[in-house]
Amino acid sequence: MEKIQTERRRKPRPKTSAEAVAERIRQTLLLFGGEAHRREVIMQMARDAGHDVRHIPEDLEASVITSFEEVWRDEARRESLGFTLRFGEGSHRWGVRMPETAH
């Protein structure tokens, strides 16, 4: 009887916390039509997490800002997530390239 060899399937690598935050930022920007002030993004993400937007936890706000800035500084990650800064470096107007739609 022949032994059937099967390829080992790799488990998908779980996203790190920073990657998950960056992906949530991307989804939030898409929700806003591809662009929003970072304050609006933070408020929406806080709302999604069940927080009162009048009292956003400082650690949530810091993690969102840090995550966007880390992705922005890494050209490959910035390209893969499509992050943009409409008014250039230091801008608080965040954006994401909209996915191409089929015609």
The pLDDT tens digits for 56-93 are 999 999 999 999 999 999 999 999 999 999 888 889 99
**Domain span at residue 53?**
17-85
In a domain, residue 1? The reply is no
Q: In the block, which residue shows the tokens 């806080």?
A: 46
**Looking at the 3D structure of the chain, how many domains does it have?**
1
Q: Above 70 in pLDDT, residue 2?
A: no
In a domain, residue 28? The reply is yes
Tell me, what's the pLDDT at 13?
A: 52
Give the strand pairing for 93-96 and 83-85.
antiparallel
In a domain, residue 11? The reply is no
In a domain, residue 10? The reply is no
